[in-house]
Amino acid sequence: MSQIRKKYSKDYKAQVALSAIREEHTITELSSQYGVHPTQINKWKRLALSGMKNIFSDNASKQQHQHDNHVKDLHAKIGQLTVEKDFLADASSRLAALRGNK
């Protein structure tokens, strides 16, 4: 007799883990309330806490720095293309004026 394995959404897991982190109820009470084994609640709590550490790590600031550099590169490219467009528009109008004078 095998049991069907339950699948929980990440929102549900986050809700249970947050309740465990708050420590307003014991793990046993949370287990009864949510219908999840206490070991599973502790696992989700550990995962949530370790994930929080990553939010405040240097990795997040490195990603933000890379994003800022990418935006700067894009702005520089936009500026370059604008100058080229203006140059070609001016050259085109001069060429049209020369051809019209013939």
- How would you write the pLDDT of the chain (102 residues) with one tens digit per residue? 567 888 999 999 999 999 999 999 999 999 999 999 999 999 999 999 988 877 777 766 777 888 889 999 999 999 999 999 999 999 999 999 888 865
Which residues neighbour 33 within 8 Å (Cβ) at sequence distance 6 or greater?
19, 25
What pLDDT is recorded for position 65? 83
What pLDDT is recorded for position 48? 93
Q: N- to C-terminal Cα distance for the chain?
A: 96
In Å, what is the CA distance from 42 to each residue of 7, 18, 68, 72? Answer: 17, 11, 38, 44
